[in-house]
C-alpha cells in the first residue's frame, strides 16, 4: 500500500466515526431530561468561574501612576512606581487622579494574608452615590463582600472623579497590599 491509500483509509474511518457520533448524539437529545435549568450553581463549576480570571475584564485598570500619597511627603518629589505595593510603615492614604477618558476603572488588590488589612475607597466629590460606588470598603462587615474563591483579593470600581484610597493594616504582622 502506498502512503496515499493509507491516508485515504484513515480519513474515511474518521468520517465514519464522525457520522456515528453525530447520530448517537441526536438520539441522546431526543430523550426527555428533567427540568434542571434553574439548578445551575456557578460555584459548582470551577471551569466557568475561572473563565473571568483567564480572559480578564475589558474595563480599564487603575494604574500605579494614578496614585499619589496623601498628604504629599515633605521634601520629596513623588515618582510614581511601575508597580504599586504597600507594606506596614509605608504611607497608607493615597489620592486617586481623575480620569476623563474612563467612567469606571477596575482596581484589583491582593493582600498577603487574609484579614491583615482593610481597603477603603471614596470619591472626593460624592459622585457615584446613586450607584453606591462613592464609598467602598473591603472586607465589609463580617467579611460579607469577600470572594470565597479568592479571600485575599478584592476588586473595587474606581470612578472617573478624583478619589481617595485608604489602607489600614490590622495586625503588626508582615502584610503587603499590591495593586494587580
Per-residue pLDDT at 131: 81
Per-residue pLDDT at 9: 94
Helices then strands, counting H and E runs in the chain, come out as 2, 9
Could you give the CA distance from residue 62 to residue 59 in angstroms, rounded to a whole number? 10
User: Tens-digit pLDDT profile for the chain (180 aa)?
Assistant: 688 899 999 999 999 999 998 888 776 666 555 555 555 454 544 444 455 555 555 678 888 888 877 776 665 555 555 677 777 777 688 888 888 888 888 888 888 888 788 888 898 888 888 888 888 888 876 666 677 778 888 888 888 888 898 888 876 677 888 887
Amino acid at each position: 500500500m502506498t502512503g496515499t491509500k493509507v491516508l485515504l483509509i484513515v480519513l474515511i474511518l474518521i468520517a465514519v466515526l464522525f457520522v456515528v457520533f453525530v447520530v448517537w448524539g441526536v438520539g441522546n437529545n431526543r430523550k426527555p431530561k428533567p427540568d434542571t435549568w434553574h439548578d445551575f450553581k456557578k460555584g459548582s463549576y470551577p471551569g466557568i468561574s475561572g473563565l473571568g480570571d483567564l480572559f480578564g475584564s475589558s474595563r480599564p485598570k487603575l494604574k500605579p501612576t494614578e496614585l499619589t500619597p496623601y498628604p504629599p511627603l515633605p521634601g520629596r518629589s513623588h515618582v510614581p512606581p511601575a508597580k504599586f505595593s504597600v507594606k506596614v510603615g509605608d504611607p497608607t492614604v493615597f489620592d486617586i487622579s481623575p480620569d476623563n477618558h474612563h467612567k469606571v476603572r477596575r482596581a484589583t488588590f491582593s493582600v498577603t494574608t487574609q484579614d491583615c488589612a482593610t481597603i477603603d475607597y471614596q470619591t472626593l466629590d460624592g459622585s457615584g452615590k446613586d450607584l453606591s460606588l462613592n464609598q467602598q470598603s473591603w472586607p465589609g462587615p463580617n467579611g460579607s463582600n469577600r470572594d470565597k474563591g479568592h479571600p485575599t483579593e478584592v476588586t473595587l470600581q474606581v470612578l472617573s472623579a478624583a478619589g481617595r484610597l485608604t489602607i489600614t493594616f490590622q495586625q503588626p504582622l508582615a502584610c503587603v497590599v499590591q495593586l494587580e
